[in-house]
Structure 1
Amino acid sequence: MVSAHAAIASASEAIQDRGLAGWSVAVRRPFVYIMASQRNGTLYTGVTSDLPRRVFEHQSGAMPDFTQRYDCKLLVWCKEYPTMPEAIAREKQLQGGSRHAKLKLIEAQNPGWRDLTQDLA
């Protein structure tokens, strides 16, 4: 399985090669991701087949309700999965799990809670 950082870099290269017109086609890969309001702040767990577009939606305020209300705009964790059913199963597992488990995942991959969005560009 490809690491999240490698997958993001690969998707970014494809985006740059194709320009914005091919953006969504270039990144059709199943990802589970966690957005945060700040370090140790509110967390949002989601799944998508187009990570750059979905993160943009969170950050631009296009996502009503939870993410807009709690200002979850930092991409702090993500992982690519081979298939969408596997990604959905993992998302449900994370959503049903404890906050502590999510914090542990974030700390293992991103101990500085750096916004991984910059890896998408």
Structure 2
Amino acid sequence: MTQRSKNKSNFKKGSVEMLLLHLLKTEGDCYGYQLSQLINQRSSGVLVIPEGSMYPTLYKLIDNNFITDYKKTVGKRMTRVYYHLEEAGEKRLEELVEDYLEVTEAIHKIMDFPVEEAKN
């Protein structure tokens, strides 16, 4: 794995919670594979969330009462676990988005800072 890939991986880990909550808010109840596919599709394949990262995050969200889960039978034998966004999860999403925007703005300020001003 290249250094760039490692950095992208670290960034993704911190964003998984926000992305999952956002999708549950905008799409409604979803099952795990569906969530991972939505992230992959909407990011044009840039963000691929492995099950090893996504499910622990979903379980953490359940433990914190941000989402709930329920089973639904699909077809004759298949059962899927769906995830539902709770009110506390909507508040958590607002906090995460606010933090994300604040950090992103700060990064842009650093990246866009005029070199001439930095030398003075």
Greater relative contact order, per chain length (Cα 8 Å cut-off, separation 6+): 1
State which structure, 1 or 2, has the greater radius of gyration over its C-alpha atoms: 2
Fold conserved between structures, TM > 0.5: no
TM-score normalized by structure 2?
A: 0.30
